[in-house]
Amino acid sequence: MRIMVTRSNPKRAKPTNLQRRDFLRASGIAIALPLFESRSDGATMATPLSRIGHRKTEPMRLVCIGNPYGLIPEDFFPKQAGRNYEMPRLLKPLESHRDDFTVFSNFDHGYSGGHRVVDTFLTGIKTIDAKSAIDGNISIDQLAAESVGAQTRFQSLNMGAGGSCEMCWTRSGVNVPVLTRSRDVFRLLFVDDPLAAKKQIGVKNQRRGSILDAIGQQARSLNRELSRPDQLKLDEYLTSIREVETKLEMSQYWVGKPKPDVQMREPGDGGFVESLGVFYELLALALQTDSTHVATLEIPEAFNTSNLGLQNSYHGYSHHGKAEKNLAGLRVIETFQTTEFGKFLDRLKQITLANGQPMFEKTILLFGSGMGNGSSHSNKNLPILVAGGGLPHAGHVVLPEEKNRRVPLSNLYVKLLQQFGIETDHFGASSGQLSDFDQLEQGTESR
């Protein structure tokens, strides 16, 4: 839904007389309306329904973590299906959480193209195909953030480092930039803006006023002239404007509310290896303080690997060609990632919410990549792990490998969005809804 708001000269405003493109005008404000079947030459304009979901008493959180080069398949995927698998090398740092996460084999988006399609990880839609998709190439995190609206200070928190994997995309096809320094993340979350800046933002919000209050009488008059389908369309359209206004009112609320006080010192500027654990701690605090309920963390394409005792680059090691020296280096980098992720799971289990639940139980965690095998540039069989969120975890779920039976990764995203609290049966290129993980596991066989 796109809302065009323009300023008009009230002296020139004419009575409502619908033409090819209609407007409601009042108090110097003009809003463009969708095309109505009953008041035009038959052209229509599709308008999506509101995405606001029903929230539980203690809201769910969503965290997505991804890297640009995938994970070594033989070190990530267990050799056995089900719950009693032998823990592979890269999952050993998560051993203590074995019962609280699910690993999936044979999930992908059906694309090939190596680095060019890594950015479909959270969207399921290629950027070049976004215009023809129902919701564009919006990523799962941003769709979840839309449902949160202004209930939290930040709709979403997107962190990473320079040269990240571009995981997050808006409905209009814009890549969401990431915060690359832990110090900046800390200040954004926990350091209040100067009083003068707060006042300036408040004045700007107040000047905008209410669009619907200005054009309300004309809208009611117009509604009586429309057919029933067009009345529903107008109601949808005006509802979307009211949602924007509600968010504006909430943003005014957050301007005047002090940021949380946390027991953490402002971090210094370090390299990515030193900062990854800090990013995770900031993320845990952001969730704990309800600063946000949706967050992403992007592992960068390049960082100083010498702090891990290595000499080559992350990208260089990813093109290992099965050379043992390069594989060994890549294992160090990937084990570092899963180890820090495991510590983050530990942290979420230590945080207790107001209702007595561990934060972990109310946080859906997605860990993976849009690349299946960095060495061969394969985008098949992506490394996908889901943890927490009160989901029925099932160990290692092996989905059909045959081309005509493969299950799109977007089907999993439908399941995660539903668990988050959004009533939907579609996402990206999904082909249906996913059963509970434990039901999927019953039909799997050992690899």
Q: Which amino acid is at 422?
A: I
pLDDT of the residue at 78 = 98
Query: What are the strands, taking DSSP E only, across 18-112?
Result: 23-26, 29-32, 61-67, 101-105
CA distances from 165 to 65, 109, 276, 350 (A): 11, 16, 16, 30
Cβ within 8 Å of residue 263, ≥6 positions away? none
Residue with tokens 């809201």: 59
Cβ–Cβ < 8 Å for 158, 283: no
Task: Kindly write down the DSSP assignment for every residue of 319-343, as one continuous string.
Answer: --TT-HHHHHHHHHHHHHHHHHHHH
Tokens of 397: 């779920």
Tokens of 10: 């009230």
Q: Does the predicted TM-score (pTM) go above 0.85?
A: no
pLDDT of the residue at 313 = 93
Length of the chain: 447
pLDDT of the residue at 270 = 82
CA distances from 364 to 74, 355, 431 (A): 25, 18, 22
Could you tell me where the DSSP H helices lie in 180-304? 182-190, 195-208, 211-223, 228-255, 272-288
Q: Which of 107, 62, 95 is nearest to 395 (CA)?
A: 95
pLDDT in tens, the chain (447 residues): 333 333 334 343 344 344 444 555 554 555 555 556 665 443 333 333 233 333 347 899 999 999 999 999 999 999 999 999 999 999 999 999 999 999 999 999 999 999 999 999 999 999 999 988 889 999 999 999 999 988 899 999 999 876 668 999 998 888 999 999 999 999 999 998 776 555 555 555 555 555 556 666 677 777 788 888 888 777 766 665 665 565 555 666 677 788 999 999 999 878 899 999 999 999 999 999 999 999 999 999 989 999 999 999 999 999 998 899 999 999 999 999 999 999 999 999 999 998 899 999 999 999 999 999 988 989 999 999 999 999 999 999 999 999 889 999 999 999 999 999 999 999 999 998 888 887 786 554 333
Measured distance CA(305)–CA(311) in Å, rounded: 7
